[in-house]
A and B are shown apart, each in its own frame.
Chain A
């Protein structure tokens, strides 16, 4: 079964750090670009970050640029999001998602994880 499973969410104080993981299974992880999308409580979907299939290219939304780092370990079939200098407005459910077509950075997100909640509060 093609699957993405996020982990690493939790409660963190403002200014703190957290690393999210997204474990992939059931497909050739190294052939697909991956993305992070978040959703604040009761709000819509907000794009966060992207990484190419080989990890050589990355992209960040302006709201997280300089604070978040996306990376991947294709030998472990795992995507990461290192989050730093966390703010109240970063509080959200974070989803990882796979692009429909192999090799392309942009496309439809056909596989999503179940999401992991990040709470930023003192």
Chain B
């Protein structure tokens, strides 16, 4: 199985800050990388697919980049409603494995 390593595992930032989360794959996955947001008690929500494509209806302050093994997820200006846990997921191979998650909190 492809291992996905996210960092940091938790992050505290202020409203308006630029926030960056990284995800590293254990092997080349091209751009087969997605990012999800999960709020407490809710199902995950797709934000970014194919490394850099913004899902319909998702605010433009969210973005993604990268290819191969190294990927980045960015919130350009943190908003209070962005408090959640974020997961990366590869789908180059079955099983489509997830990173361990990054819990984002407001400072």
Contacts and interface: CB of A to CB of B under 8 A. Distances in A.
A112 B44 contact: yes
A103 interface: no
Interface residues of B, number: 24
B91 A44 contact: no
A100 B99 CA distance: 20
Interface residues of A, number: 21
A14 B58 CA distance: 41
Contact of B45 (A59, A112, A114, A115): A112
25 contacts: A44-B87, A44-B98, A44-B101, A45-B36, A45-B38, A45-B44, A45-B98, A46-B98, A47-B96, A47-B97, A50-B94, A95-B43, A95-B44, A100-B49, A106-B91, A106-B92, A106-B94, A106-B96, A107-B49, A108-B50, A108-B55, A109-B36, A109-B44, A113-B43, A115-B43
Interface of A: 35, 37, 44-47, 50, 59, 61, 95, 100, 105-110, 112-115
